[in-house]
Chains A and B, each alone.
Chain A
């Protein structure tokens, strides 16, 4: 039996519930038509129907989701029981491996399995079937019980309308709380692993150490003592690439915004602005591809021509491409704030005989400065958190250097390389990724809050 059938069954019960509620309410409609409230249904039949449908659907759907979440772990525990003696003496990983192969064998008899395990496979199949049917029966019964009790409540003076309204507003409140829950989840999942990491590696070493090589610590089976979790080279690398990106993005973005808002004809604006925004819509993996396979070799060749040594995974290539990617972030926000400067300021400046350029430089830019600064801050946070471009173009070597022609690494690259692939969750290597993620989260959060603060302060000035 599949979940789809169960889901279809639930949907059917919900619809039936609606009609039962509706019918019952219609049947209770008093025969005498009068304006007296005692002689009228409190709520329209539709509300009664919805009330029944909600009681039918919400508990059973919640049960269904809970079941979907819990089923794998329940099955795994029961499989562990079914294994009995065969599972004794195995390590956690071996046990998981064994369970996996039994699962595959149960799904498809073509999959190879040791003959001694065949009875286990058979009993596992039975377990899967019986728990599956059990779960479905429970969920289905939940729906029917909900339907039965809620339709019994329907009466002439039953305030179905108020109940339904209440339930709906609670559902809405809960869905808006998902955003809060997500933030909470991010913080919690980062903070626990980070605390565990700092139990193994000292805080000062992480923040001020100059040497980063997590792999070595793993190989020597040493915790922390190898002294290789100094994150300064990573922070420096992130800073270097971000700085290069901003050197590209800020002037170009700002000049584009100025041209768009002050010089461009409406026709030019109407096609150039969407085109510019395409840059923000292109997936970052595409930029990464372009940086790694086109820009980096090109820079390398130029370097050879000019007698410079440019590494094929240079900070420059990643930084330049990232800079282009964030041009629209700077330009569209700056464009908005420049446009928001009141026309009277422009008119006043022109009346004094200033040229357009002088008006922009001396009047508009100072007036729009807070907004521009905040757009630059937002773009910076974007650049710091950007992953794919640096992963593909900037390399893994944790060099502590300010030379843009060399390979550096960034926070995001390290998080990715530490976590992709096989992981064990008690080595400082994987936990380091969470610590780095925490640092990343805090920094971008601060930048965003700062940017929002600046914008809000500025808005009050003209409104």
Chain B
């Protein structure tokens, strides 16, 4: 009998231990997934932070650049710098004469290299034209395939037909390396350039600036509106059918799928009001509608936590309702409201789908300079690159994700700090 009972208790305890373990396993699964995801993305991002350069001896022959000898910037900017760079790389391997091979050889360096050289040389308003007629060693970017090869992403031991760099090109690269003509540098251009069709020139500057403009609009619209609405609902309104209706609306808006807001933006802002497509202005308006419920809900919670004695004291010495709220209650609730705003902004920063609907998915090279310039935002940039066939964009995407997560971490850290620093317990 006692044995039976002991066995039973043992079984129950075993069940208890198992049950507890399931819980721990569940948490570990979730956290493990998070860790694996972040580590994978970080490792995939590493190649994007460096860029391979090739040293090419370029002859800036006067015949090609400035045949008239007029030394005019506008004319020279139109010159065929691409040809000069091409000739430079051909000169490194004089033995290559076959057209087909020459084309392969040309593909060692970035297809945009000539434009870059022209831009650097002609950067000033009054550039000195001393470079014309000289021969100089210039470091130019390699093409994305060679870059991937140098970084080991394209492996030698794979069958030639299955890799994008053929044996001959590898031979050239080896020779260049032996001559010390290949160098890896930190890829500052990733932070300086806008989007580009060639991965070696693609950067996130345009997307970051676009995100910045969009978030400014979102903040300017949603924060005042959200705080005022919260004050009305918490301090002014009496329980009525209308207040209840407003509250139901706010709660529902918080749960509406984001893509539906995109449909709203498309149908209302773009088609009905005729606002510009792809503009941070419209993006910010759509996102502010999405963040509004978050801000209202958190601000209301913050207002609720201000003790009634503060209000009573203010009203007691003759302050008006508005004075009570603006001078006393709202300042005390401000840290809470700001925390809510930052969390809402963080969510808006990561939002993609509604912005795709209002056309922020366009391919835009220029960095936007205003609220109505066509632009894109960071998460959409990631999505655009995900659609590109070039393998090198994979690293760019991961790097862009890291930048996005970096901004999110900062915003959330500010929110936590605000809460820690200013939260008062009454």
A interface with B by C-beta (< 8 Å): 69, 72-73, 76, 161, 164-165, 168-169, 171-173, 175-180, 182-183, 185-186, 189-190, 192-193, 251-256, 258-260, 263, 272, 275-276, 278-279, 281-290, 292-294, 324, 327-328, 331, 355-358, 360-361, 378, 381-382, 384-388, 391-392, 412, 415-416, 419-420, 425, 433-434, 437, 440-441, 444-445, 448-449, 452
Contacts and interface: CB of A to CB of B under 8 A. Distances in A.
Contacts of B357: 415-416, 419-420
B369 interface: no
A39 B294 CA distance: 49
A169 B256 CA distance: 28
Interface stretch (B27-35, B93-101, B105-113, B114-122): B27-35
Contacts of A282: 350, 405, 408
B362 to A, nearest CB: 10
A178 B228 CA distance: 11
A235 to B, nearest CB: 15
Interface stretch (B129-137, B177-185, B189-197, B243-251): B243-251
Nearest to A415: B259
Best-surrounded residue of B13, B246, B397, B412 (most CB of chain A within 10 A): B246
Contact of B350 (A76, A252, A284): A284
SS class, residues of chain A in contact with chain B:
helix
Contacts of B350: 281-286
B264 interface: yes
A175 B264 contact: no
Contacts of A416: 259, 353, 356-357
Contacts of B15: 355, 357
A165 B405 contact: no
A263 B353 contact: no
Interface in B383-426: 383, 386, 394, 397-398, 401, 404-405, 408, 412
B296 A179 contact: yes
Best-surrounded residue of B293, B321, B382 (most CB of chain A within 10 A): B382
A385 B258 CA distance: 7
A290 B31 CA distance: 15
Contacts, number: 252
A48 to B, nearest CB: 14
B383 A286 contact: no
Contacts of B257: 381, 384-387, 412, 440-441, 444
B222 to A, nearest CB: 9
A255 B22 contact: yes
A162 to B, nearest CB: 9
Contacts of B352: 283-285, 387-388
13 contacts: A73-B274, A176-B296, A178-B229, A179-B249, A279-B34, A286-B401, A290-B41, A355-B12, A416-B259, A420-B359, A434-B267, A444-B257, A448-B252
Given A165-B320, A285-B382, A294 B40 contact: yes
B23 interface: yes
A357 B19 contact: yes
A169 B353 contact: no
B263 interface: yes
A361 B30 CA distance: 22
Best-surrounded residue of B25, B260, B349, B386 (most CB of chain A within 10 A): B260
Contact of A441 (B44, B260, B356, B386): B260
A247 B22 CA distance: 15
Contacts of A358: 12, 16
Contacts of A169: 232, 236, 321-322
A186 B353 contact: no
B365 interface: no
Nearest to B321: A165
B406 to A, nearest CB: 12
Size category of the binding interface on chain B: 35 or more
Given A165-B322, A355-B16, 11 more contacts: A178-B225, A185-B264, A186-B261, A263-B20, A279-B30, A279-B33, A281-B350, A290-B41, A358-B16, A415-B259, A415-B263
Interface in B311-344: 320-322
A434 B263 CA distance: 7
B302 interface: no
B289 interface: yes
Nearest to B235: A172
A183 B253 contact: yes
The 4 closest A-B pairs by CB, nearest first: A385-B257, A259-B23, A283-B350, A189-B267
B260 A289 contact: no
Contacts of A452: 251
Interface in B216-235: 224-226, 228-229, 231-233
B26 A252 contact: yes
A192 B271 CA distance: 13
A289 B397 contact: yes
B286 to A, nearest CB: 10
A283 B351 contact: yes
B158 interface: no
B346 interface: yes
Contact of B408 (A185, A193, A283): A283
Nearest to B397: A289
A381 B255 contact: yes
B48 interface: no
Contacts of A258: 23
B322 A72 contact: no
Given A179-B296, A283-B352, A193 B233 contact: no
A41 to B, nearest CB: 14
B268 A189 contact: yes
Nearest to B251: A452
Contacts of B292: 178-179, 182
Contacts of B25: 255
A451 to B, nearest CB: 9
Contacts of A69: 273, 275
Contact of A437 (B228, B260, B276, B296): B260
Contacts of B347: 281
A391 B257 CA distance: 14
A49 to B, nearest CB: 14
B193 to A, nearest CB: 21
B361 interface: yes
Contacts of B199: none
Nearest to B357: A419
A437 B263 contact: yes
B266 interface: yes
B382 A179 contact: no
Nearest to A434: B263
B236 A172 contact: yes
Contacts of B273: 69
A259 B379 contact: no
A189 B404 contact: no
B383 A392 contact: yes
Contacts of B231: 172
A273 to B, nearest CB: 9
B263 A190 contact: yes
A186 B256 contact: yes
A105 B253 CA distance: 42
